[in-house]
Structure 1
């Protein structure tokens, strides 16, 4: 109580004696909602609100004093101060992002508040807090955090079969769309493996997708791409022959080409294809020794037997004693391996009409057929000549003098078809020292 209130009080006491108000009610009775009042009079009067009475005010639990906790009944018939018990209130709680809270009685004393989070978020902190008499909450501020990983489902891809003639197949699928259980936003979708639309090779390819949400949570799924190559089973080269296959030699759509070594004739299919039923088209291929029929009626029929099979080297001389002829045949006889390697058949035409005769190794060509051969190729029977025909029957080279086998082989090895033959022979390990 300040000095002024004391002075007023003393003056009031003095007046009360003069005016005769001693021991009678003076100030209005004190009524405190949600509180208690304890008063005492100056001389123990019956009334507790006489002038000079002093009252102490206390609030109930959950309420706090606003104003004076002690007042004095003054001469002015008023109490020396204001007073009120107001309910205790805690600071307003912050609304958690991606969540909220609900309270039993707002922010007032003893109010119980429960925090909750939006779907996909997890509460971090206290779920329930209570407003205490200290004007504080029983727990700290709770938050909603995204700790739940997103969801993703990988594509389901059936086994794939390689395309015909290939060992690969193009595989496509729709990129899976992951789902985030919180805000629905994904920051990354990462594929481990070949992207859709890629050609996949034979075998089992392990793939995976990984997605991330904004909180850094991730989820992964795995799937496989299996590629199968359908096969017919391997073929083998024929004895005394070659085989060249494309693709992977025995897969669906692969083609195998066959050819025979010099002096052998191909029987069966020259090409076989692996069919969709996984069987080889065509007949089995063999290479049989070439059988030249010298009993045909025309020179053209004789040469047709060599078409696309053998090259023909015709050596013609007026007599067996011809110096050029003897030199040439001696040189060729010592190079038989080189002749066979280059698919060359030598035909000898010796003599003049009507004593002329022909020979293919040990087979004798009748005089009339030998004459036709000279006439067809316009070979003079009175002088030495040598004619080289390729496998298509084309007149490639003519010589009026003998040459060495090495010179002949060098010329033939420049032919385009011969280069393919050389490659096959090299792969098969066939060669000659001569």
Structure 2
């Protein structure tokens, strides 16, 4: 009678009444010994488990381990896992599945753009990976990630973003001095280049202020350069340009005179020219220049009152003293009692300010030769000199007449009767030279209400 079906039935009945084993045998893993004792009984290879423990239930008791129907539970150490938690010895003398304990492994981490990572144990359980970014980039996210028992990393892969501002160094510009006769200085420098520690890609450098090789006026000028990287980070620097002008101490127009300066009037290279009003002689330098050492060239300029020499012998010698300096108003009358003469002198007596403003000197010729007298204010002319003036200017002795002579000695206007000061001034103010004088007087603040 074939006993094999009975053995199978016996095994099935004992599956529920088996015992826990340690996976170890009294005689070790000696398959020959088992074969000799349990000849003809199917068995599986003994389980040799690294990195874990095994416990088995045999259907026929302790000495029948690994026989067909034996169930073994697989327990792996921390950090390891088995494909199945339980295996069964099959009739084909093989275990029902693989039971090896393999180290737990997480998916391979992706490499962050512009960065990388370093791990303590690759992608295996409990491996700690530290993320780093390339120079110029900053980490956004968790700095580390650890492989967990569930094969999931403790943190997502971070990103490396460009958060560092680009660097730019502005030029150092020393103070510049203006050139002679100028109030500006040409300032040059090299355009700085920006530096980006990330990808090195920058936009154009933007300058706020005048460009290099420009003429800068006197004073302090604030400048700046700005540059952006591809991520929009901004880097900037600031510098100043100072232009200085060498200046002399200020000059002033002399009393009874005018001063006209070019450029700014007191800067290095500026020239100031001086003129005296009619009836005043210039003493000192006609022009002065502001020099490099902040001093003026030449001598101080003054205007002294014109010294009229009435002791000359000829009318020409007398009149030449007024050439290009004063205008002459010559009033001639046969007697001091002449009605026109008296009216005219009374009218001019109240207009002395207007006469001085227009550089007019009044010469009176009164009487008939040899009883005639001449007068320039309080200075008397000899009868002979008075007669010569009448003869040279063709002024009659026996009637009233007034002659207006300009600064070039030309006879400009004759009046056979008295006129008002306003009429006289209106005529003089039409002279071309007088128009230039009026501009100077206005600039100097010279005026007269008369």
TM-score range, shorter chain: 0.7 to 0.9
| Alpha-carbon spacing, 1:296–1:178, altered in 2? closer, same or farther (3 Å) | farther
1:266 counterpart SS class: strand
Question: What is the Cα deviation at residue 313 of structure 1?
Answer: 1.9
Q: Equivalents in 2 of 1:127, 1:431: separation in Å?
A: 86
Q: Which consecutive unaligned segments of at least 5 residues does structure 2 have?
A: 13-37
Query: For 1:227-376, what aligned pairs fall within 5 Å after superposition?
Result: 227-245=243-261, 247-261=263-277, 263-296=279-312, 299-317=315-333, 323-349=339-365, 358-365=374-381, 373-374=389-390
Structure 1 partner of 2:42: 25
The corresponding residue for 2:428 is 412
Match of 1:65 among 56, 65, 82: 82
Q: Deviations over 1:104-131 (max 9, x none)?
A: 5432334343322211223445544332
C-alpha distance in 2, partners of 1:171/1:414? 49
- By how many angstroms is 1:89 displaced? 1.7
Instruction: State how far apart, in whole Å, the 1-side matches of 2:41 and 2:112 are.
Output: 60
Q: CA deviation at 1:190?
A: 6.0
Q: CA deviation at 1:103?
A: 3.0
Higher mean C-alpha displacement, 285-294 vs 136-145: 136-145
What is aligned with 1:3? Answer: none
- Do structure 1's residue 131 and structure 2's residue 126 form an aligned pair? no
Deviation at 1:232, TM superposition (A): 1.8
TM-score by length of 2: 0.76
Please, which runs of 5 or more residues in structure 1 have no aligned partner?
Answer: 1-8
Q: How big is the shift at 1:82?
A: 4.7
| CA displacement at 1:290 relative to structure 2 | 1.0
**What SS is found at the alignment partner of 1:91?**
coil
Deviation at 1:241, TM superposition (A): 3.6
**In structure 1, distance between residues paired with 2:197 and 2:414:** 89
**Alpha-carbon distance, 1:96 to partner:** 1.9
Determine if the alignment matches structure 1 residue 158 to structure 2 residue 174: yes
TM-score (norm 1): 0.79
Displacement, 1:254? Answer: 3.3
Distance 1:181 1:368 in 2: 103
Which residue, out of 66, 69, 76, partners 1:49? 66
CA displacement, residues 151-201 of structure 1 (integer Å, 9 cap, x when unaligned) = 222221212223444544444434433322223344586666666566555
Deviates more, 1:241-250 or 1:86-95: 241-250
SS at match of 1:74: coil
Aligned-partner Cα distance in 2 for 1:148–1:73: 65
SS of residue matched to 1:226? strand
State the alpha-carbon separation in 1 of the partners of residues 283 and 68 from structure 2: 144
Assess if the C-alpha contact under 8 Å between 1:11 and 1:75 holds in 2.
no
Cross-structure match for 1:226: 242
- Indicate whether 1:13 and 2:29 are aligned: no
CA distance in 2, matches of 1:113, 1:254: 76
Which residue is equivalent to 1:177?
193
The answer to whether 1:103 aligns with 2:119 is: yes
Is the CA contact (8 Å cut-off) linking 1:13 and 1:75 kept in structure 2?
Answer: no
Q: 3-state SS of the aligned residue for 1:328?
A: helix
User: CA-atom RMSD, angstroms?
Assistant: 3.9
Would the aligned equivalents of 1:266 and 1:285 in 2 still touch at CA under 8 Å?
A: yes
Do the aligned partners of 2:259 and 2:274 also contact (CA within 8 Å) in 1? yes
The number of equivalent residue pairs is 422
Matched residue SS, 2:426: helix
8 Å Cα contact 1:12/1:75 also seen in 2: no
Aligned to 1:6: none
